[in-house]
Amino acid sequence: MGSRDLHNKESVEKIIYMYALADCNNFFVSCERAFQPNLEGVPVVVLSNNDGCIVARSNESKAMGIKMGTPFFQLKNLVDNGLLVVRSSNYSLYGDLSRRIMSILADAAPKLEIYSIDEAFMVMDGMDVEAIKAVSHEQVHKIRQWVGVPVSIGIASSKTLAKVANHFAKKHPGYKGVCAIDSEDKIAKALALTKIGDVWGIGWRSAPKLEAVGVLTALDFVRRPREWVNSRMGIQGVRTWEELQGSDRVEHENDEKRKSICTSRSFADMITDPDELMLRVSDFAAICAKKLRSEGTVAGTVGLFIQTNRFREDLSQYESGTTIRLDVPSNSTQEIVSSALRIFRTVFKQGYKYKRAGVIVTDIVDADAVQGVLFDYDESLRERENVISCIMDKVNTADKNFLRLATQRPGHYSEGIRSQYKSRLYSTEWDELIEVR
Amino acid sequence: MAAEGIRAGFPSPAQDYMNPFIDLNKELVPHPTATFYGRVVGDSMIDAGVEEGDVLVIDKSIEAKEGDMAVCFIDGEFTLKFLSFSEPDGPVPVKSSGKVRKSYDILSHKELWLSPANDKYPAIKVTEANDFTVWGVVTYIIKKVSRK
């Protein structure tokens, strides 16, 4: 670690981490290409839920000037004229390939922090840069061959710099997918080439203000005194300022943070009425959603189980449960509740006396990690849900839910969603496999 | 969720030796992150016992070699064939990874052929004019035998 002495002057005893940020190139498009190799080299875009607007672009469609978030109807004529290929989002496919990629990365790193569906930090403590580079090249090759998705890896001593390095790895083919920024020299060069608006942690609100006072690049930014940054942008800005110089300041993902949340109860009286049981299940789901919101996380999977009283051997016994993956990780009460109820309808059987039920949410990640990827996922709907969820949090106390959703009606979600250009569930559905002649 | 309730008396001595079940995933899929499945259409591999409707277990982690049954992508279509070279026993230049989709190694002058297992179809010679890649090597074929 050549740059070890250059920073962290005031806290030498602190462990110095090295990060390798693995980020899939144009992830959704690459997933489509993994099973449709004829889409290689062709301009491709992937649409948001309901075929609303562009959420992913291939390099070729970027080169055509197509911007993220463009409403699809504005591009439809390109598709009709054969100049652009479009796919509806296929989250089951992306989720499966993401899981495979993360599992490959987890095998290669002492610690892996999954940041979003297509990004993860490999935390490489105690390894020297050359070794990290070698491991990274291996992963790029392996993921491309095993899963079929191109990945780029950026290496640096802070997460923010690793992001910058990743940018370079993606942009310049010469790096062969791996770029390390591991000396003061390289840091300065890289920062000079990085627009301030492209820096992780500099929001779209701050960027124009900084540009207005002459801070155009990341290098301009770190050359300003700490006090200047602090007075304008507060502690968050100072963090970014330090990180860009190679100091590791982003708080480490809290290991204490739960990987799953389960809300389950044994009922005082056994329940036979499905409506009654549904109500209980909804409450459990709502509690899970509330806990997620309170810790600023979202869950990717919702599970439900119901069971009869095992100790009453005189009664017929039944237990069942399963999980479903959400298209987009969520902490909205509506979404978690409706998912739990969807499972409920598949597992509930009449004629049993139920003693216990529970809702488990898993695949928990930070909420902002998800927003970055799917910024426009039915945003107005999300906003509305968030407002409703917040009101519910305020009114409902821990053990009494005064406000319940009217959406506890079956089938409120995921029906009537448009996905006219959806590819198959190649890797998760037995009846939708690739056809081989 | 434990399936066993509380029972009185000695537990069965056989319990300690019980394997839960044979797990086909464990036996047939050593690389789950790299394994995908494909459905056979047509009869080009019929003499190798591969029929329409069979399911292929495709392990993309395996480097393709001469003689492998492989799922290839050629000119817009997935095809199932044996890989063979005009000069036997030569090193196999084809890799299923990477951006470069060179169909054969120019320096070694070895030609790549995709050989069907059905006399009705000719072998296909892969040239640079083809859009070609070896997608994955087939490790098992799942065939439904019962009528129901």
Q: What is the pLDDT of residues A130-179, one digit of tens each?
A: 999 999 999 999 999 999 999 999 999 999 999 999 999 999 999 999 99
Contact (Cβ atoms closer than 8 angstroms) between residue B37 and residue B57? yes
Q: What angle do CA A321, A326, A329 make, to 5 degrees?
A: 125
Contacts of B50 (CB under 8 A, 6+ apart): B40, B56, B69, B80, B117, B141
Say which residue, A397 or A158, is predicted with more confidence.
A158
Give the pLDDT score at A255: 42
Confidence label for B14 from pLDDT (cuts 50, 70 and 90): low
Q: What angle do CA A167, A247, A154 make, to 5 degrees?
A: 25
Residue with tokens 């537990």: B11
Whether residue B81 lies in the annotated active site: yes
**Cα B63 to Cα B45: distance, rounded to the nearest angstrom:** 21
Give the pLDDT score at A242: 92
**In terms of residue numbers, what domain contains B65?**
33-142
Q: Is residue B83 part of a domain?
A: yes
Q: Is A116 helix (H, G, I), strand (E, B) or coil?
A: strand
Is the pLDDT at B34 greater than 50? The verdict is: yes
Per-residue pLDDT averaged across A321-331, rounded?
86
Q: Is residue B3 part of a domain?
A: no
Confidence label for A418 from pLDDT (cuts 50, 70 and 90): confident
**Cα A341 to Cα A356: distance, rounded to the nearest angstrom:** 16
Alpha helix locations (H) across A74-171? 76-80, 91-108, 129-146, 159-171
**Yes or no, beta carbons of A433 and B42 under 8 Å apart:** no
Contact (Cβ atoms closer than 8 angstroms) between residue A218 and residue A244? yes
Q: Which residues of A28-44 are buried (b: 16+ CB within 10 A; e: fewer)?
A: bbbbbbbbbbebbeebb
Give the pLDDT score at B118: 96
Confidence label for A388 from pLDDT (cuts 50, 70 and 90): low
Is the pLDDT at A415 greater than 50? The verdict is: no
Per-residue pLDDT averaged across A254-281, rounded?
79
**Yes or no, beta carbons of A436 and B78 under 8 Å apart:** yes
Question: Hey, how many other C-beta atoms are within 10 angstroms of the C-beta on A54?
Answer: 21
Q: Is residue B18 part of a domain?
A: no
Chain B residues in contact with A104 by the CB 8 A cut-off are 33
Give the pLDDT score at A251: 55
Per-residue pLDDT averaged across B49-63, rounded?
97
Q: How far is A39 from chain B (nearest CA, A)?
A: 9
In order, the DSSP letters of A343-371 are HHHHH--TT--EEEEEEEEEEEEEHHHHH
- What is the predicted ipTM? 0.81
Contacts of A221 (CB under 8 A, 6+ apart): A191, A196, A199, A202, A210, A215, A229, A241, A244
Contact (Cβ atoms closer than 8 angstroms) between residue B97 and residue B91? no
A255 touches chain B (CB under 8 A): no
Q: How far is B66 from chain A (nearest CA, A)?
A: 18
**Cα A218 to Cα A163: distance, rounded to the nearest angstrom:** 12
**How far is CA B118 from each of CA A30, A96, A125, A193, B40, rounded to the nearest angstrom?**
35, 35, 56, 58, 14
Give the pLDDT score at A16: 65
Partner residue facing A436 (CB), from B40, B76, B99: B40
Q: Is residue B16 part of a domain?
A: no
Confidence label for A317 from pLDDT (cuts 50, 70 and 90): confident
Give the pLDDT score at B50: 97
Contact (Cβ atoms closer than 8 angstroms) between residue A367 and residue A326? no
User: Any idea which of A301-310, A377-386, A425-434 has the lowest mean pLDDT?
Assistant: A377-386
Per-residue pLDDT averaged across B10-29, rounded?
76
Mean pLDDT across chain A, nearest whole number?
Answer: 85
Is the pLDDT at A10 greater than 60? The verdict is: no
Total tally of structural domains belonging to chain B:
1
User: Any idea which of A27-31, A125-129, A152-156, B70-74 has the lowest mean pLDDT?
Assistant: A125-129
Element holding A192 (H helix, E strand): helix A184-192
Residues in chain B: 148
Confidence label for A50 from pLDDT (cuts 50, 70 and 90): confident
Phi-psi region of B46 (alpha: psi -120 to 50; beta: other; left: phi over 0): alpha
Residue among B26, B44, B95, B96 flagged as catalytic: B44
Give the mutation candidate from A101, A436, A437 for the B interface (greatest B CB count, under 10 A): A436
Q: Is residue B78 part of a domain?
A: yes
> In chain B, where do the E strands start and end?
35-40, 55-59, 69-74, 77-85, 112-115, 124-126, 132-142
> pLDDT tens for residues B89-137?
444 444 444 333 444 444 455 788 999 999 999 999 998 889 999 999 9
Q: How far is B25 from chain A (nearest CA, A)?
A: 14
Contacts with B, A 108-147, CB within 8 Å: 141-142, 144-147
CA gyration radius for chain B?
A: 21
Give the pLDDT score at B17: 63
Confidence label for A324 from pLDDT (cuts 50, 70 and 90): confident
Percent of chain A predicted with pLDDT > 90: 56
Residue type, B59: D
Give the pLDDT score at A259: 72
**Cα B91 to Cα B107: distance, rounded to the nearest angstrom:** 12
Is the pLDDT at A384 greater than 70? The verdict is: no
Say which residue, B104 or B12, is predicted with more confidence.
B12
Per-residue pLDDT averaged across A55-72, rounded?
95
Most confident option among A197-201, A291-295, B78-82: B78-82
Q: Is residue B9 part of a domain?
A: no
Secondary structure of A213-254 in the HEC alphabet? Answer: CCCCEHHHHHHCCHHHHHHHHHHHHHHHHHHHCCCCCCCCCC
B18 touches chain A (CB under 8 A): no
**How far is CA A131 from each of CA A128, A184, A356, rounded to the nearest angstrom?**
6, 19, 51
Give the pLDDT score at A125: 82
**Cα B55 to Cα B41: distance, rounded to the nearest angstrom:** 10
Identify the structural domains of chain A with CATH numbers, from first to last.
Answer: 12-182 (3.30.70.270), 184-253 (1.10.150.20), 261-414 (3.30.1490.100)
**Yes or no, beta carbons of B41 and A146 under 8 Å apart:** no
Is the pLDDT at A31 greater than 50? The verdict is: yes
Report the CATH number that the domain containing residue B98 is assigned in CATH. Answer: 2.10.109.10
Per-residue pLDDT averaged across A383-388, rounded?
57
Give the pLDDT score at A419: 87
Say which residue, A58 or A291, is predicted with more confidence.
A58
**Cα A68 to Cα A368: distance, rounded to the nearest angstrom:** 18
Give the pLDDT score at A101: 97
Chain B residues in contact with A436 by the CB 8 A cut-off are 38-41, 56, 71, 78-80
Q: Is residue B21 part of a domain?
A: no
Q: Is A94 helix (H, G, I), strand (E, B) or coil?
A: helix
Partner residue facing A433 (CB), from B1, B5, B37: B37
Q: Is residue B117 part of a domain?
A: yes
User: Any idea which of A133-142, A245-254, A397-406, B3-12 has the lowest mean pLDDT?
Assistant: A397-406
User: Any idea which of A24-28, A229-233, A411-415, A433-437 has the lowest mean pLDDT?
Assistant: A411-415
Contact (Cβ atoms closer than 8 angstroms) between residue B74 and residue B130? yes
